[in-house]
Amino acid sequence: MTEFSAVELIIAKRERGSLSTEQIDWLIANYTSGVVADEQMSAMAMAILLNGMDRREIRDLTAAMIRSGERLDYSGLAAPTADKHSTGGVGDKITLPLAPLVAVFGVAVPQLSGRGLGHTGGTLDKLESIPGWRASISNAEMHAQLASVGAVICAAGSGLAPADRKLYSLRDVTGTVEAIPLIASSIMSKKIAEGTASLVLDVKVGSGAFMKNIDRARELAQVMVDLGNDSGVKTSALLTEMNTPLGLTIGNALEVRESVEVLAGGGPADVVELTVELASEMLRLAGKPDADVAAALKDGRAMDKWRQMISAQGGDPRAVLPVAKHSHTVVATETGHLTKLDALALGIASWRLGAGRARKEDAVQFGAGIELHAQLGDRVVAGQPLLTLFTDEPERFDWAQAAFADGIEYGENAPSDRKIILERLSNG
């Protein structure tokens, strides 16, 4: 490998230059091995945030991060593979009903998921509220479960894109999280290394999302769709609304319960709509455009697959889920229609109740969170229950309520119908 100087590469990007393929390969390989120091990579991350990268640079950065570790291969499976990635939101439990639903139609779903940090929940935290369920399984176990059940949701192994793991934690403490080239390469290096043949991206837009405005969300989605397709992964994206929480629950065990309601043919309309839309798109990319996914939710096939998937990882799908020791009901302060239920405010409140973590090493309370008794646009009467807070530590209630003091508003007229799917970016 050609030798470069980290300082010269930082200066080149600082001066709005373009880094060559060889320079990017050298930078990532040497950062992963420790030759390039954290402070040097911090300076590079800031230069990328301020000056951007072109499509070729982002593609090279993603490829270098993939090469830093192993790449999984599912070519031995009889079924095609499809995956979904969400950029994260509040009440976003879609992966739970989605993976078994898609697997019903003979498409294998290798869903490598993460844990929550801050106000956004983590899929693994939700599933770990199920007694006995294991997030960490070997690559061999994952492959065997995909062959037998057709769906697996688990933690990514340490061998997958280790450069991303180093860079991810660095971005968090250097104010460079928002850099689109770094977000896109982080997400897509893991998804491409994961080995899926097709991928649907759920890019959230709004107060409770990573991307607050649609222009930035669209830019990120397009970059990721291009990266996937350039790498041979059929990739498309949906831009979805996240100003209001998804569903009526926020918090780990609460969201599992709601996901099971969806799998039983019920559940909130917005959760069902997004689950069906994402499943249909995953199946379209996998070559099964005519699958009747709504029917598989209604007739129990998706529930059967869910039980198989949970049991395969040691979980008891029929076990009683954890319940918080304390609850507190908040009532409506006015009569009228709910015109605002701010996702960020309610996400922070749920985190303050113990459902999330401030640092990666923090524990979560599985029973903590919020249950909404009304959604955006519903008419409420002053004094009726609006939401219930759950926690094991009642001293958290006041702190949580302070988070959404300005996050709930009432009006005489109902707001226009909420549009969940804002835009689609297709691979064709």
Q: Provide CB contacts within 8 A for 140, sequence distance 6+.
A: none
DSSP at 394: G
Residues 6+ positions from 276 with CB-CB distance below 8 Å = 293, 294, 297
How far, in Å, CA of 235 to CA of 198, rounded? 6
* Contact (Cβ atoms closer than 8 angstroms) between residue 258 and residue 268: yes
Report the distance separating Cα 64 and Cα 31, nearest Å: 11
Of 103, 128, 100, the residue nearest 114 (C-alpha): 128
Mind telling me the catalytic residues?
85, 164, 171, 186, 190
Degrees to nearest 5, angle at CA 375 with 374 and 380: 45
| Angle (deg, nearest 10), helices 180-193 and 38-51 | 110
Nearest to 370 by CA among 336, 334, 341: 341
The pair phi, psi for residue 100, each rounded to 5°, is -70, -30
C-beta separation of 81 from 110 below 8 A: yes
Q: Which residues contact 170 (CB under 8 A, 6 or more apart)?
A: 38, 41, 42, 45, 176
The count of C-alpha atoms lying within 13 angstroms of the C-alpha of 117, restricted to the half-sphere facing its C-beta, is: 11
Buried b / exposed e along 300-319 (16+ C-beta atoms within 10 A) = ebbbebbbbbbebbebebee
